Structure 1
Amino acid sequence: MNTESKSHFEEFEKPLIIRRKLLPWWIKTFCWIFMVMGVCAIGVLIASPFITSFQLSIYGFETNTPLSGIGLFIIAILIFKGFAAYSLWFEKDNAMSITKIDAILGVVICIISMFIIPFISESESSHFSIRLELALLIPYYLKLNKIEYEWDNLESL
């Protein structure tokens, strides 16, 4: 009887292991930035019928109209990035796969905005630009890849 009652409480005796400790300070900072931006993107989506002009921009895509194709694309990116940041910050089991998808999509979208959009756009203002976001997205992906095994083998709270 003693061993049976003890086994019910073993779960509470485990030491607390926090996956968040695996993250460097700069990823923790961006988690908060993108969680806030994701909430703001939802707010823009809700307010967009009442506000006709709102500046949105990410990865080289920009618009003044949130209810346009590009506007909804930017809002979707921001919401997804907010969800990825939330998953990482709150140590969800699927956080590594979601954030790695986020990083890969970010790189692909940056490459599209750098190399494809300037050539297919009919606007005279479209020009080739180097996206500095790549300078963070690539190390972000590499760091996630480096800590993925340890992350997956730790128990979250």
Structure 2
Amino acid sequence: MAAAFEHDIEPNLEHDIEPNRTDLLPWWIRYCNWLFMLGIITVPIAFIMTLTGSDNVYFDAYGITARDVFSPAGIILASVILFNAFTAYALLTENDWAIDIAIVDALIGITLCSYAMSAAPGIFRYELIPLALFLGKLLGIRTPWAQLKNK
């Protein structure tokens, strides 16, 4: 009877589900991706509010502030928000080029934060911390992301 309990249980590798690319992303990147996807709603709302003459439009990201979508800062911030949503969608849909676009997105964020910090010396933009972690994680999973494409 003891022999019945002595067999090894080995996983059947033929029937195991292979990991997908989204599994390479930590939970906090997936969570932020969904927030960025929801954040895309703010751009058309701000556009409509600006066209109707509302004074309640206020964009603020990476240390850049805009009260009008059609100002240079407003155009930059609206473009960055749209690009963040595009990047989030690319990562969540596991596109081949998603990591490259996300790296560009992180570098744009770091550049904008650095610009804002140089314009106001002595102020540290805390967005740099998650941006640096995001960039580091993207660089770390770039190769496995590409390898999952070939399987």
> Which letter does structure 1 place at the counterpart of 2:147?
N
Q: Is the 8 A contact 1:39 1:79 kept in 2?
A: no
Runs of 5+ unmatched residues, structure 1: 1-12, 119-126
Could you say which structure has the larger radius of gyration? 2
> Which letter does structure 1 place at the counterpart of 2:110?
V
Higher relative contact order (CA 8 A, sep 6+): 1
> Which letter does structure 2 place at the counterpart of 1:136?
P
Query: Please, what is the CA RMSD of the aligned residues?
Result: 2.1
Structure-1 separation of matches of 2:98 and 2:48: 27
Runs of 5+ unmatched residues, structure 2: 1-14
Structure-1 separation of matches of 2:129 and 2:40: 22
Report the equivalent of 1:7.
none
2:63 corresponds, among 35, 57, 60, to: 60
Q: Which 4+ residue blocks in structure 1 deviate beyond 2 angstroms?
A: 42-48
Report the equivalent of 1:90.
93
Report the equivalent of 1:10.
none
Count residues with an aligned counterpart: 135
Report the equivalent of 1:99.
102
How far apart are residue 38 of structure 1 and its match?
2.1
How far apart are residue 90 of structure 1 and its match?
1.0
**TM-score normalised per structure 2:** 0.81
Query: What's the % identity of the aligned pairs?
Result: 28
SS in 2 for 1:57: strand
1:3-18 equivalences under 5 Å are: 17-18=19-20
1:55-102 CA-to-partner distances (Å, cap 9, x unmatched) read 110000112222211111111110111111111111111100100000
Alpha-carbon distance change, 67 to 93 in structure 1, aligned in 2, over 3 angstroms: same
Alpha-carbon distance change, 150 to 33 in structure 1, aligned in 2, over 3 angstroms: same
1:48 corresponds, among 47, 50, 58, to: 50
Structure-1 separation of matches of 2:43 and 2:93: 20
Alpha-carbon distance change, 130 to 17 in structure 1, aligned in 2, over 3 angstroms: same
2:22 corresponds, among 7, 20, 23, to: 20
Report the equivalent of 1:140.
134
The answer to whether 1:75 aligns with 2:78 is yes
The answer to whether 1:154 aligns with 2:145 is no
Q: Is the 8 A contact 1:28 1:89 kept in 2?
A: yes
Alpha-carbon distance change, 43 to 155 in structure 1, aligned in 2, over 3 angstroms: farther
SS in 1 for 2:149: coil
SS in 2 for 1:48: helix
